[in-house]
A = this chain, B = another copy of it.
């Protein structure tokens, strides 16, 4: 029987709090000691990635104590309970099964009389079949012409993850003969978002994917109307241009309004849905089902690593516990995600949702108050761009902000130039290496304005190249990290009650049922 205790009730947490007071990151990362740390503090991830935490404010003693904390908090047992179908999402009384979309780690999970792994696989196969037929010209538009573009209509998890994944592999696919269709995304209820995308695409050759689990997401249904208007204006039959990704019980399922419908279910939250039909439809159409399968394989391999009870062999658990140490012992309030890869330009925005929506909670999984900090603010932009922007504050600001770097040895496109005896890719990699050491070690200077205190912690995930497998591994790493942190904080990482109040009040505004400040703001905004 698993124990769900608050973090501050754990003996090992109280021990962790006493440690690390004398640790000096700048000193530890200097000279031979620094070299030894880089060599030692590294864990293998899937798809050839490595998680290197040498520049974190930890030593063997802290890592060992975090391992004890992981044990006492029964993290791998909780993970097992999750992937074997216990009701982990206590608030909504649901299982949490996104890992099952990419592999089976434990015993069969049956819900509503259905084997869920088989259900997810069946949807993948149906999507693969549909995508193959589109690519082969067997499913075509009304004029008998091939579709060239796919447009995802969704918001939140139906947008951020799939969009980030698409952008991450777009250029890779183009140079690896896997680019099948251009993808675009409509998400915001701002009418200018849908209008701009619709003005850009060739609607006659576009398939639109309507993504809404409930079939009732207001933004998404509104944007569907935009699309239907555009199709009608072009003299086209919308039902020949749209598919739905939804739950089997939603109003969108089995409707004649769509060419076809692919299913998700209540056991996969939006922000964890990139490996479900939500990501599967758009990515399979854009790059082909084989590429989507490779992406899933990378995630599945990473999921397996997360089941290891040895903290130094479990990168997601280690990353999670170092994060807890930084948040609860060191008191840092935010974390920057800094991929040195332009293809990952929207990956920080996806992690921002994944992490902040999962762990931005102030009650535990039983709805009781807690007395410690939970999820941090997550933000980031690709390097080297960030270096010319907000890194000033990261280096010399008055708060310490832990950093998560990501870097690859090789570019995706492979086109490069040599300037001043190095390629752009070498410059990119040289910069990320330099930044880690600059943040950790700093530099003294008589002019205090040019002094760098150092002691600013970071970790880096290094890979050969951003391939579909590497992307899947990256995604699963962060999903599992967030899950483990939720377990440590004893919160429910899988609901989002904090988004409800705004929705309720917005409905009141639209119904003109407001008073006081809300009425005043409504008037100011001409509603």
Contact = CB atoms under 8 A, between A and B. Distances in A.
A32 interface: yes
A343 B450 contact: no
A332 to B, nearest CB: 9
Interface in A61-83: none
Nearest to A34: B517
Given A385-B187, A390-B356, A498-B396, A342 B193 contact: yes
Contacts of A417: 191, 222, 225-226, 229
Contact of A188 (B271, B384, B503): B384
Q: Oligomeric state, in number of copies? A: 2
A415 interface: yes
Interface stretch (A242-250, A251-259, A425-433, A471-479): A425-433
A4 interface: no
Interface majority SS (helix, strand, loop, mixed), chain A: helix
A504 B452 CA distance: 13
B387 A449 contact: no
Shortest Cβ-Cβ A-B pairs, 6 listed: A360-B393, A156-B388, A34-B517, A434-B505, A360-B397, A379-B379
Contacts of A157: 388
B521 A411 contact: no
A129 interface: no
A126 interface: no
Interface in A339-378: 340-343, 349, 352-353, 356-363, 367-369, 372-375, 377-378
A393 B357 contact: yes
A136 interface: no
B413 A38 contact: no
A179 to B, nearest CB: 11
A32 B401 CA distance: 41
A94 interface: no
Nearest to A429: B525
A435 interface: yes
Interface in A164-211: 170-171, 174, 187-196, 199
A396 B497 contact: yes
A320 to B, nearest CB: 17
